[in-house]
Amino acid sequence: MGVSQLKMLTDYIDHQEQHHRRKGFQEEYRDFLTKYAIEYDERYVWD
């Protein structure tokens, strides 16, 4: 990451708590798996 991307990174970190209020970990993880076409079975993903 270069200096030119530092502002973007600090903004992301500053707004991370607000972001996670809207979208929980499980929903975000499912979106990640879907985005990268990773097959998964809900029975084995969560405790």
4-22, pLDDT tens digit by residue? 889 999 988 888 887 667 7
**47 against 10, higher pLDDT:** 10
**CA dist., res. 26 & res. 28, Å (int):** 5
Answer yes or no: are the C-beta atoms of 9 and 1 closer than 8 Å.
yes
The candidate with the shortest Cα–Cα distance to 46, out of 19, 31, 27, 32, is 27
pTM of the model: 0.54
**CA dist., res. 45 & res. 36, Å (int):** 16
pLDDT surpasses 90 at 30: yes
